[in-house]
Structure 1
């Protein structure tokens, strides 16, 4: 019936439609998977591939791989690759969907689109660079670390992971992994198919075992299989100034002096005549380390946030320099762009963010310079409230205040 509509388009014979759409790609994939290949629909979908969503392109690619049409498959893979974003710093990759994916349609789901693309890569390039990066991105974007947005997309992602594990051979490792510190072997673990999820996968250096100075950690492998590892370091620093740090999430803080400018706007008077009315307007001047302020001057603090993934329940604690006091007197929700709850404390201003989308964001608030002296604002700290290993901090800054 859908093919008939497409054939009717040239003569505009009712019913007709001018192009093959996303639902056609979905149905074609299902039919091919069941052993029924309609070559006429394949040609229509290939003709109209540019208008297909990225999600549907991945579905069509799976069908093309199944029927062995390599020429068309290569073109579809090239089309999809235009939407792939590679993050070398975080070792992840994802599809940047046009217009953020039309999320209100079934084919606009970012999670499902990435999962279907992973399934396609599992069949065409499982050992390439993009597939494992997609896996890491999808893992990082789970809700509460156990599921995604729904039972539907969770099932699709799990299925794509299974396809990838089978294709990449990661289900059958046969290796011994060693951890060396400063040329000395500290621990080793034999990993095979039977103990893949139960072997001792943690090594800790604590207290006196970790001496001052630089150290070299090596991960060595004997045998076959991929090795994934993470390293965590907790330390008390005496450095001055403290430098910013972060990976999955980053926060940078900027201080600005607010300079009052004379500004007026035209408003309507009692008799409808234009009347000048003064308005409050400020110009921002960026402050660098050890810059001088006068007591009473207004300062705006802007927190610039860069998130690699979508996160929930993130807390930002901006440590306050002792000579400054917030302009706001009461805690509460404010017009800060992230819907964050601002909590005013003696030594910090804390923002609680319910939902933080991937990308760049900012939060700003104002303080007033009050007490003369030289003061240090310790780094702003970012932390996931229910996953405290996700954290970051900004640079420290020192400022001076005079009467």
Structure 2
């Protein structure tokens, strides 16, 4: 966390000096006051568009935390404060560095190789951005840390040779050793001794010959290593392979559908993507290709809070260092609804965010035609909502990037065992039947803060009355049963398809509306859909 503080404040000072209009924009937000919608968490914005009040979800504290972060943005560009915090962080980093040269989690703990490599990696990022001139104290820390990771890597190499007689025939190397080569390549001012160079050359030859054996993340590191070694043919072949497996979308940009790799101390598709971007940048990719990859990054931020410090740091670095300059570009987006250009009375400085509302008497059929024109090179996005009242039984299904389907079954038991029978005209419900509600949830992107609400017929009494954490289909969620609905709250919903089931007993006869099932991303309410209304008959 001390290095994150150093990195954030150093990068903040760099942005303030390089892009003066950014600090001016933040200052303007600050003057608008803490109640300005610009400074609110996305969880708190646009409450009228959401299917449930924020206070009824488990995410009240998350919303408060993000709002506080936005309100503190102005302090990031306070040069005096940032310099003080940077000096404090450097002092703490010096205290946490052990005599062996590595950094530890806490003072007095053993040094940790992964932490040390990550801090050295962060220093190299700041240097590449030309965001800082390192002081003598920091350079001394770097020299000790480089010596430490050299010793640790060499020790592992010697152990490998002792324990594996066929070590010279290896086809792959551990990710930690590949990360060592990657980090070490940024510190060539510290020469390798003969034994360490022998190890580095051996590892490098393995990854050069067998790069197809590695995953997306590992390959991105290998590209950088090969580029620095002048192996242009290998770099071209690896980037060609990346392009062959990439998905190119007008909305989402350029990305990799199987991006589920491990990165340093966490798992994050955003982190892996930023490393791939760096590989393309180093390999000489064109600006428009890098802009497509930056678009995917921003689309992730549209639906995610990015609590991870490492993911946010690397994403900011990628957005600043690759492609065209979106920071200083002037975007002008024009929205035309029903042939009339929208001229917003208030527009957030910097982001250009605005909201326009029409009431019932103002809405005409022509407003179904919407045209959006963006004159800048940076992406822009928005959404149009139509809210109206309708009988539950007459509601038709909607779909989209986030989609939900609902099916009802009766659980029956015979000589062959338990089976689920779809509810049809031939299989009417009876009092005492056990109904299984199956909800199929699909999303084409990673989402955070997703609320799924399944309305129940008045004749259905859920089996599970107590609320609590659940685990199904590889995701964790909070399930809460209420009088007329069962609610599911997902902190994180990765891209994919999920089938959730819960049971209910039929308690009375009659004809009932079973309502609809609605799913919505509370962080980006434009991602929402619902099932069609349906009836159930109990005889």
Please give the TM-score of this superposition, normalised by the length of structure 2. Answer: 0.57
Which of 428, 434, 438 is 1:298 aligned to? 434
Question: Could you say if the C-alpha distance between residues 181 and 290 of structure 1 is closer, same or farther in structure 2, counting changes exceeding 3 Å?
Answer: farther
Structure 1 counterpart of 2:261: 101
Structure 2 counterpart of 1:252: 405
Tell me, yes or no, if structure 1 residue 378 matches structure 2 residue 538. no
Which of the pair is proportionally richer in helix? 2
Q: Following the alignment from structure 1 to structure 2, what is the Cα–Cα distance between the partners of residues 229 and 33?
A: 38
Which of the pair is proportionally richer in strand? 1
Check conservation: 1:125, 1:131, Cα contact below 8 A.
Answer: no
Q: Following the alignment from structure 1 to structure 2, what is the Cα–Cα distance between the partners of residues 148 and 84?
A: 27
Check conservation: 1:251, 1:305, Cα contact below 8 A.
Answer: yes
Tell me, yes or no, if structure 1 residue 282 matches structure 2 residue 418. yes
Structure 2 counterpart of 1:273: none
Q: Structure 2: which 5+ runs fail to align?
A: 1-149, 192-196
The structural deviation recorded for 1:180 is 1.4
Question: Could you say if the C-alpha distance between residues 112 and 358 of structure 1 is closer, same or farther in structure 2, counting changes exceeding 3 Å?
Answer: same
Q: Following the alignment from structure 2 to structure 1, what is the Cα–Cα distance between the partners of residues 433 and 250?
A: 43
SS of 2:420 mapped into structure 1: strand
Once the two structures are superposed, the pairs formed by residues 1-400 of structure 1 within 5 Å of their partners are 18-19=170-171, 21=173, 22-23=175-176, 25-30=178-183, 32-33=185-186, 43-65=205-227, 69-81=231-243, 84=246, 93-94=255-256, 96-97=258-259, 100-102=260-262, 106=265, 109-122=268-281, 123-128=284-289, 130-140=292-302, 142=304, 145=305, 147-149=306-308, 151-164=309-322, 167-174=323-330, 176-187=332-343, 198=350, 200-207=352-359, 208-212=361-365, 215-222=368-375, 224-238=376-390, 241-262=394-415, 281-287=417-423, 292-328=428-464, 330-333=465-468, 337=472, 338-384=475-521, 390-400=527-537
Question: Could you say if the C-alpha distance between residues 112 and 297 of structure 1 is closer, same or farther in structure 2, counting changes exceeding 3 Å?
Answer: same
SS of 1:168 mapped into structure 2: coil
The structural deviation recorded for 1:135 is 1.4
Q: Tell me the C-alpha RMSD between the 2 structures.
A: 4.1
SS of 2:501 mapped into structure 1: strand
Q: Following the alignment from structure 1 to structure 2, what is the Cα–Cα distance between the partners of residues 309 and 85?
A: 13
The structural deviation recorded for 1:228 is 1.3
Question: Could you say if the C-alpha distance between residues 341 and 232 of structure 1 is closer, same or farther in structure 2, counting changes exceeding 3 Å?
Answer: same
Residues 300-327 of structure 1: CA deviation (Å, up to 9, x unaligned) = 1011122344445433221112333324
Q: Following the alignment from structure 1 to structure 2, what is the Cα–Cα distance between the partners of residues 243 and 258?
A: 27
Q: Following the alignment from structure 2 to structure 1, what is the Cα–Cα distance between the partners of residues 251 and 531?
A: 18
Q: Following the alignment from structure 2 to structure 1, what is the Cα–Cα distance between the partners of residues 251 and 440?
A: 19
SS of 1:77 mapped into structure 2: helix
Structure 2 counterpart of 1:270: none
Question: Could you say if the C-alpha distance between residues 365 and 227 of structure 1 is closer, same or farther in structure 2, counting changes exceeding 3 Å?
Answer: closer
The structural deviation recorded for 1:196 is 10
Check conservation: 1:259, 1:282, Cα contact below 8 A.
Answer: yes
Structure 1 counterpart of 2:91: none
- Across the two proteins, how many residue pairs are aligned to each other? 365
Please give the TM-score of this superposition, normalised by the length of structure 1. Answer: 0.73
Q: Structure 1: which 5+ runs fail to align?
A: 190-194, 264-280
Q: Following the alignment from structure 1 to structure 2, what is the Cα–Cα distance between the partners of residues 116 and 30?
A: 13
Q: Following the alignment from structure 2 to structure 1, what is the Cα–Cα distance between the partners of residues 374 and 246?
A: 31
Q: Following the alignment from structure 1 to structure 2, what is the Cα–Cα distance between the partners of residues 206 and 309?
A: 30
Q: Following the alignment from structure 2 to structure 1, what is the Cα–Cα distance between the partners of residues 329 and 317?
A: 20
Q: Following the alignment from structure 1 to structure 2, what is the Cα–Cα distance between the partners of residues 283 and 197?
A: 59
The structural deviation recorded for 1:370 is 3.7
